Amino acid sequence: MLRITWVLAGLLCAVVGFASGKDGQTPNQKPPLKTVIIDAGHGGHDGGARGSLSREALLALEISLQVREIMKQEIPELNVLMTREEDRLPGNQTSIPAALRWRADYANKSGGDLFISIHLNATLANQKYGRKQVGTKEETYYVYSGKGKKRKKIAKTRTVPVYEKYKLPATVSGTQTYILARDWYNLKLKSVGNKSEIYEMGENDSLDTEMMQMDPVEARIRAAQYTKYFFQKSMTLASLVEEEFAATGRRSWGVMQRDWDGIWVLQATQMPSILVETGFIDNPEEEAYLASLDGQKEVARAIVNAVKKYKAMLESLGQPAANGTPGGTGTSN
């Protein structure tokens, strides 16, 4: 896992380079963190990954609602907005690509300073099966004897083993937090190549064909904006989230830079953005934990604690609002 000391050093550089005006002051700036967008992944007929008892869309929503509740109680000055509050696609959308675009547009139009997308993971490594012998049975088979008109079909029996398929224990568990890779735009057409099993069934909110054909100028502007203002802040928050998970005893896979293809809600949101994989729904132990109220509250508290630390860092450094221009208030679009 990336160490927060390295991240904070980078954030300090970002503050010096982008936050200060010509005289080092930031007049008329609004609070560094005012509006947080909580995005419960998937929804409705887009169920996401599946476990033996539940599905990603439902558990992501329940965890997201817990995050909002704790934030409202403990950081009341924040404006906390949800992309969805029901088990359906956000914005009354009917298609998944349209819902993805809606999420990012809603966050941008709402003037979000931070975007947190909450998901659950899955992997082929947790979907392996074995075979064991559970008994024997008598099987009939046939042989032929003689030739021509004397050829006869003779039935015989033999004892054969009977096997039963069974699911092997899940071996992968833990959390991951994604940020968009700094150089993703230049790599977005690169082949996926050889990926670790941990990613094979993970978050799949990728760009569709229409999104991939975004006007090159617009895409470059967004990529440059992300690199200049948002990458280091996203990295900082993601690192804090994973450190909070690790502090609860969870296995943390750390911060992952998504560079094999884009996640639209990270690419198109004009603010620091992270996508939190809160655990593996296809691991029965983790599914039970994430489906329990205690587990959901523990996960939500870890995320909120990370936001508190992130907010305190920005305030101590005099950082301007995330969606503003250096030294001013700016707008989200």
Which CATH number covers residue 177? 3.40.630.40
Cα–Cα distance, 138 to 133 (Å, whole number): 15
Do 73 and 118 reside in the same domain of the chain?
A: yes
Within this chain, do residues 121 and 143 fall inside the same structural domain, yes or no?
no
Closest alpha carbon to 271 in 326, 333, 220: 333
Average pLDDT over residues 17-36: 60
Note whether residue 91 is domain-resident.
yes
* pLDDT one-digit tens code per residue, 264-298: 888 888 899 999 999 999 999 999 999 999 999 99
Residue 160 shares a structural domain with residue 272: no
Do 152 and 196 lie in one domain? The reply is: no
Give yes or no: residues 99 and 242 share one domain. Answer: yes
Residue 324 lies in a domain: no
Both 195 and 254 in a single domain? yes
330 within domain boundaries: no
Largest distance between two CA atoms of the chain: 109
Quick check: is 326 in a domain?
A: no
* 140 lies in the same domain as 267: no
- Chain CA centroid to CA 211, Å: 19
**Averaged pLDDT score across all residues of the chain:** 80
Range of the domain at 53: 4-127+170-317
170 DSSP 8-state letter: P
pLDDT at 32: 83
> pLDDT tens across 87-101, in order?
999 999 999 989 999
Pair (198, 157) in one structural domain: no
Question: For the whole model, what pTM was predicted?
Answer: 0.76
The mean per-residue pLDDT over the stretch 102-118 comes to 95
**Which pLDDT does position 108 carry in this prediction?**
92
Within-domain flag for 329: no
Q: Are residues 209 and 305 in the same domain?
A: yes
Q: Does residue 325 lie in a domain region? A: no
Which tokens sit at 322? Answer: 């995330």
**143-172 burial, b if ≥16 CB within 10 A, otherwise e?**
eeeeeeeeeeeeeeeeeeeeeeeeeeebeb
Tokens 């934990």 belong to residue: 289
Q: Token pair for residue 271? A: 């603010």
301 in a domain, yes or no? yes
Beta strands 129-145 and 152-167 are: antiparallel
pLDDT, average across residues 176-205: 52
pLDDT band at 147 (very low <50, low <70, confident <90, very high): confident
Note whether 23 and 81 are same-domain residues: yes
Tally the domains of the chain: 2
Same domain, 13 and 143: no
136 and 215 within one domain: no
What pLDDT is recorded for position 300?
98
Note whether residue 328 is domain-resident.
no
